[in-house]
Amino acid sequence: MHNLKRAEAIINRSNPVDLDLLVLPEMAFTGYNFGSAEEIDFHLEPTAAGPSSVWARTMARRFKCYVCVGYPEYAAVSPSSPNPTVVRYNSAVMVSPQGNVIANYRKHHLYTTDETWAAPGGEGFLTSYEERLGRFAMGICMDLNPERFLAPFNKYEFANHVLTSGAELVVMPMAWLTTHPELLEDEAPVPDSETLAYWIQRLQPIVDVGGYNGKEIIFIAANRCGTENGAAYAGTSVVLGIRQGNVKVYGCLGRGVEDLLIADIAPSFTKPISRWR
């Protein structure tokens, strides 16, 4: 409940208007760095129906915009199954301006921390279409990396999915760690350039193509910031535009800044991205 109110306070402080899309980080309200299924069980939420989803619906109706938020999901296997169980996922829900659930994506490439409690999403990466957003792809953090760090680096699984699916908008909640935790305080307002460069590197196939028929592809990364149970996050939430081989930074937060970033993509299409610890 504290984190829900904290998120709302950050948004109220910015007093945003004319929003199209609000994106929150991976597991935005529960924290991310859990070491076991037992540790996280108390925080699990039913599929698109827990506190995170209710908050998303409320904000979507209030601002008349789409809202995407990450959360830890439990999905009950049918009681008629021979061995009924609960399956846990690292998920993100997307709701419409009317408060309807339009997508529930389950992280496909798990990070080491996820593997202590979550199952990989079996449906692969997600692509969907909304008239106001166009065709969009969703991933969560580690999805941007080679699978289990074992797949060839140049396989670019997620980036190639974006290209083959024809998505023009990429939405990615994150809990991306920093390799320089010593800079979180002294250089909090400064983006983590190493992290930002790596994200762009993992989008290389998109950069090479440069968009579809001259159209721009928008990439949104909403990353956690600060520290949590020994984990130090890179922050640097960003909105990028990729067109004709060029990468444009529409907006970027510092590595340790807890705030709402609003990026004006076009006069009639504003995509905001928010993050907090």
Look at 105 and 16; give whichever has higher pLDDT.
105
Average pLDDT over residues 144-165: 95
CA–CA separation, 157 and 179 (whole Å): 24
* Per-domain residue ranges of the chain: 1-77+84-252
46 C-beta neighbours (distance < 10 Å), count = 13
Global pTM reads 0.92
Structure confidence by residue, pLDDT tens digits, 163-197: 999 999 999 999 999 999 999 999 999 999 999 99
Among candidate residues 26, 45, 73, 216, the one labeled active-site is 26
The residue behind tokens 């935005």 is 28
pLDDT at 212 over 80: no
Burial of 15 (0-12, 13-18, 19+ CB in 10 A): exposed
pLDDT at residue 273, as a whole number: 46
Residue (of 94, 98, 29) closest to 63 by Cα position: 98
Pairing mode of beta strands 66-76, 86-95: antiparallel
Contact (Cβ atoms closer than 8 angstroms) between residue 115 and residue 147: no
Confirm whether 26 is a catalytic residue.
yes
pLDDT for 259 equals 94
| Residue 73 bears catalytic tag | no
**Active-site residue among 65, 107, 157, 225?**
107
Q: Would you say domain 1-77+84-252 falls under CATH 2.170.16.10?
A: no
118-156 burial, b for 16+ CB within 10 Å, e for fewer? bebbeeebbbeebeebeebbbbbbbbbbbbeeeeeeeeb
In whole numbers, what is the pLDDT of the chain averaged over residues? 91
Of 65, 68, 141, 252, catalytic: 141
Parallel, antiparallel, or unpaired: how do β-strands 126-130 and 134-138 relate? antiparallel
Q: Which of 182, 220, 190 is nearest to 203 (CA)?
A: 220
